[in-house]
Amino acid sequence: MSVDVFIVGAGPAGLAAAITTAAAGLSVEIADTMRPPIDKACGEGLMPDALADLEKLGIDIHTIPSMPFRGISFFGRDVTSTACFTTGTGKGTRRTTLNQLLIDRATELGVHFRWQTTVRGLQKQTVELDCRRVTARWIIGADGHQSQIRRMAGLKHRTISSKRIGLRQHFHIAPWSDMVEIYWGEHSQAYITPVASDEICIAILTRHRRTSFAEEMAQFPRLLQRLGSAQPSDAVRGSLTLDAKVTSVTKGNIALVGDASGAVDALTGEGIALGFRQAVALAHALSTEDMEGYCNAHAEIGRLPHLMSRTMRLMDSSAIVRNHVLQVFERKPSLFNSMLKVHIGGAMPRLLGHNGILHLGSSLIFS
């Protein structure tokens, strides 16, 4: 077979790349080692910017089975701070639901799927699969942190700034808040996202390599009190979360997108939106045959999320910094709102001025 674009990996970034390239008039095929429903341990909260990106992909966000949330609440040991979105709301939705919506949209555009298929090798414009070969003008690696396409293409060098474990479980209980709540512990954070009228998602990020969900939950007595006797609705699922940069995201006719092309720590909640924006930039690059343009766009798209990731990881690693920041946010809610607005793209980050990065940073340090 011969196609314009062959994509490896049917996660959100790979499916977004399939949608954008098919919408640009290219023939697209996508392969994944799994079969739907495809799940992954994540916080399951879609911020307003991610929802806007979904609309650009042609998905009606108003029909997504979900629960809305108005903003973010931080819970420290003795402090609580809240910031609301200034434009729109977020939505909590199951990862499997989001994945299926993207699959349906790609199918509408004529994308062909190869499920439970493994890529065995690459030779110039040929992809070697389990039992056949496919010739493609462009080959896209969207196969996650341990990308086989990145390795096969020789794009192996990357810098990993942090590596942590993510654990997720759902519980049968009506959401007690219309915010995404983040509880800060000594070496972990717990994210609580409403995903249905009778269900919440709890995702924990931890620096501990060998730990259990129950052991991590013990760090958050306020959360345990809220949870009460609620019972889990599924088993614990785990995954690896990285903050990583790849030296180059293209080589010849091969390009990387999503976690295969580098990633920000899951603390930011921006991983999915990042993949959506990269997919849009990649489709434009393929249509104009400008891979250098994709490299430049990829770097620009990741600049602010990586900055925010470093800030959040500093709070995670230092109790002094974390407690100071949370106390400042509690005293000055407007500062927290400004940071959230910049974080989700509601305000262009400037260096100077009232909402500039230096102003916000100095306010945190000297307040």
Q: Is the pLDDT of residue 253 over 90?
A: yes
CB 47 within 8 A of CB 182: no
Predicted local distance difference test score (pLDDT) of residue 163: 87
> To 10 degrees, the CA torsion angle through 219, 225, 227, 228?
130
Question: Maximum Cα–Cα distance for the chain, whole Å?
Answer: 63
Q: Which of 35-44, 117-126, 262-271 has the lowest mean pLDDT?
A: 262-271
Which pLDDT value is given to residue 296? 95
pLDDT at 353: 45
Domains identified in the chain and CATH numbers: 2-65+93-159+245-311 (3.50.50.60), 161-240 (3.30.9.100), 318-366 (no CATH)
Give the pLDDT of residue 88: 87
Give me the numbers of helices (H) and strands (E) for the chain, helices first please: 11, 20
Q: Which residues pair with 200 in a beta bridge?
A: 171, 194
Count how many Cα atoms sit within 13 Å of the Cα of residue 64 in the half-sphere of its side chain.
Answer: 29
60-88: pLDDT as tens digits: 999 999 999 999 999 988 889 999 998 88
Of the ranges 218-222, 230-234, 239-243, 355-359, which one carries the lowest mean pLDDT score?
355-359
Which residues are bridge partners to 21 per DSSP? none
What's the confidence (pLDDT) of residue 352? 38
Mean pLDDT of the 223-237 span: 96
Which residue in 152, 128, 141, 149 sits closest to 1, CA to CA?
Answer: 128
Helix 319-331 crosses helix 357-366 at what angle (to 10 degrees)?
A: 100
Helix (H, G, I), strand (E, B) or coil at 153: coil
Residue written as tokens 């910031």?
A: 83
The three-state (H, E, C) secondary structure of 65-102, written as one string: CCEEECEEEEECCCCEEEEECCCCCEEECCHHHHHHHH
Check residues 158 and 36 and name the one with the higher pLDDT.
36
Q: In the structure, what pLDDT confidence band is assigned to residue 321 with cuts at 50, 70 and 90?
A: confident
Q: What is the secondary structure of 279-302 as a DSSP string?
A: HHHHHHHHHHT-HHHHHHHHHHHH
Is residue 358 scored above 50 in pLDDT? no
Say how far apart CA 358 and CA 238 lie, in whole Å.
37
Is the pLDDT reported for residue 180 higher than 60? yes
Between 308 and 263, the more confident residue is 263
Higher local confidence (pLDDT), 307 or 84: 84
- Residue where the block lists tokens 């990145």: 150
Structure tokens at 68: 């809305």
pLDDT band at 177 (very low <50, low <70, confident <90, very high): very high
Q: How confident is the model at residue 162 (pLDDT cuts 50, 70, 90)?
A: confident
Residue 365 has pLDDT above 80, yes or no: no
Mean pLDDT of 229-243: 93
Contact (CB, 8 A) for 221 and 227: no
Distance, in Å, from the CA atom of 51 to the CA atom of 40, rounded to the nearest integer, reads 19
Q: Measure the CA–CA gap between 366 and 129, rounded to whole angstroms.
A: 58
More confident residue, 326 or 24: 24
Q: Looking at the predicted structure, is the pLDDT value of residue 91 above 90?
A: yes
Residue 256's nearest CA partner among 167, 144, 163, 345 is 144
Can you give the pLDDT at residue 311? 80
Give the per-residue pLDDT at 339: 79
Rounded to the nearest integer, the mean pLDDT of the chain is 89
Q: What is the pLDDT of residue 345?
A: 64
The rounded distance, in Å, linking the Cα atoms of 350 and 330 is: 24
131: three-class secondary structure by DSSP = coil
Q: Find, among 364, 258, 350, the residue nearest to 311 by Cα.
A: 364
How high is the pLDDT of residue 210? 74
Tokens of 218: 């013990």
Distance separating alpha carbons of residues 326 and 346, to the nearest angstrom:
22
**Length of the chain in residues, anyone?**
367
Q: Is the pLDDT of residue 31 over 70?
A: yes
Least trusted range by pLDDT, from 209-213, 215-219, 296-300? 209-213
Range with lowest mean pLDDT among 145-159, 303-317, 335-349: 335-349
203 Cβ neighbours under 8 A, 6+ residues apart: 41, 42, 43, 44, 166, 167, 168, 190, 191, 193, 266
Which amino acid, one-letter code, is at 349?
P
